[in-house]
Amino acid sequence: MKKLVVYYSLSESTRYIANSIAEATGADVIRIRPKNEIKREGIMKYIQGGRQVLRGEEPELEDFENDLSGYDMIFVGTPVWASSCAPAIKAFLRHVDFRGLEEGKMAFFACCGMSKGNAFEDMKNAISGSEMEIIGEKSFKEPVKGDVKKAKDAMDWAIEIINRIEVYM
């Protein structure tokens, strides 16, 4: 089974969880990056990120491998901004070509300070019309690099998802 982790991370928390999932599952990794990233420091990151969400803005993304046809399982990770998924992940999900993945499976993960909000619903809406089957969702509250418990939780969840698929293959 070929696996992929796709994620966006501004503060590196989502990156930490994404890399933990990739390590546990042997997945390839794609980091989504906007061409014009918002500021990483201070209160401006919250203002700029929240404004993007509330205005429904989708940033232009740096080039990435968008032929996903060989993957059986895709994990997609996002930070939660203004109770939604990050605009970069929404842009990825709306514009990637899911053809060739008619039997593909997807699981969403979100890294949040308080709550996952509507992040998973927004991600599902972004892929509506595709044949992807969503088989799991998990939120991680305030993961920080080096938090071994959160990394293990992410790894265990990802392995559980993979095992669930392999039973039916």
Over residues 63-90, mean pLDDT:
88
Highest mean predicted confidence (pLDDT) among 48-52, 86-90, 125-129:
86-90
Instruction: Give the tens place of pLDDT for each residue, 110-133.
Output: 998 888 988 999 999 999 878 888
Over residues 63-73, mean pLDDT:
83
Which domains, and CATH codes, for the chain?
3-168 (3.40.50.360)
pLDDT-derived band at 65 (thresholds 50, 70, 90) equals: confident
Predicted confidence at residue 54, as pLDDT, reads 66
Least confident of 32-36, 62-66, 153-157: 62-66
Predicted confidence at residue 70, as pLDDT, reads 84
Least confident of 37-41, 73-77, 133-137, 140-144: 37-41
Q: Are 78 and 143 in contact (CB under 8 A)?
A: no
Q: Look-up: residue for tokens 């969400």? A: 53
Predicted confidence at residue 3, as pLDDT, reads 94
Helix (H, G, I), strand (E, B) or coil at 60: coil
Return the bridge partners of 108, or none: 76, 137
More confident residue, 64 or 18: 18
CA 156 to chain centroid, in Å, comes to 17
